[in-house]
Structure 1
Amino acid sequence: MWYVYILRSVGFPEEEYVGATEDLKRRVPEHNAGRSTHTAKFRPWKLIWYCAFPDKCKALEFEKYLKSHSGRAFTRKRLS
C-alpha cells in the first residue's frame, strides 16, 4: 500500500505539508526528526489526514492533485 498524507505544523498551524510514502509509520517521525529539508523548519508536525492507495502511481497522482491550486482548496474545504 501507498499513503498520501497531510501534516500540519504544531507551532505554525497555517503550514501544511502533503506527501506520499510506502511506510507512513516511519515517514512521520522522519519529518519530526528534521530529515526532510522541506519540513525541518516548521517542526514538530502532526498527522491530520491520510489515505491508502493500492499502488504507487495512483498515490502519486493524488499527491500531485492535492499540491495543485484546486487540490489545496479541496483540502481546506473537505480534509482539514
Structure 2
Amino acid sequence: MLYSESSLKYYTGQTDNLESRLYRHNSGLSISTKSGKPWKLIYHNQFSTRSEAMLIELKIKKRGAKRYLQDIGFF
C-alpha cells in the first residue's frame, strides 16, 4: 500500500516486483498515480499465490485503505 502526502491518498495494488512497481508510480509511468508523486510504501504483505494477493487487494479496496489499516492496528 502506498501513500501520497501531496494528495493525501492511498493506493492499493499487487505486484511480483515491488521495487519496480514503486519506481513506476514515482516516475509518472502509471496513469492512476501520476498526480500523487511522490508515493511512499507504508504497508506490504507477501502471499504464496497471486490469487490470494488479489483477494486481499479486493478486500482492502472494498473496505477502504485507511479503514483496513485501522482494522489491522496499523495506526
| TM-score, normalising length: structure 2 | 0.86
Q: Which has the higher helix share?
A: 2
Q: How large is the RMSD of aligned CA atoms in angstroms? A: 1.7
Structure 1: any 5+ residue segments left out of the alignment?
1-5
The alignment partner of 1:64 has SS state of helix
Q: Does 1:60 align with 2:54?
A: yes
1:43-80 alpha-carbon deviations (Å, 9 max, x no partner): 11000010000110000000000000366522234335
1:2-34 Cα shifts (integer Å, max 9, x gaps): xxxx1001322x211001000001100100011
How many equivalent residue pairs?
74
* Corresponding residue number in structure 1 for 2:2: 7
**Structure with greater strand share of residues:** 1
Aligned pair in 2 of structure 1 residues 71, 46: CA closer, same or farther (>3 Å)? closer
Query: Please, which runs of 5 or more residues in structure 2 have no aligned partner?
Result: none
Runs of 4+ with deviation above 3 angstroms:
none
> Normalization by structure 1: what TM-score?
0.81
Q: Given the superposition, is the C-alpha separation of residues 70 and 15 from structure 1 closer, same or farther in structure 2, using an over 3 Å criterion?
A: closer
Aligned to 1:19: 13
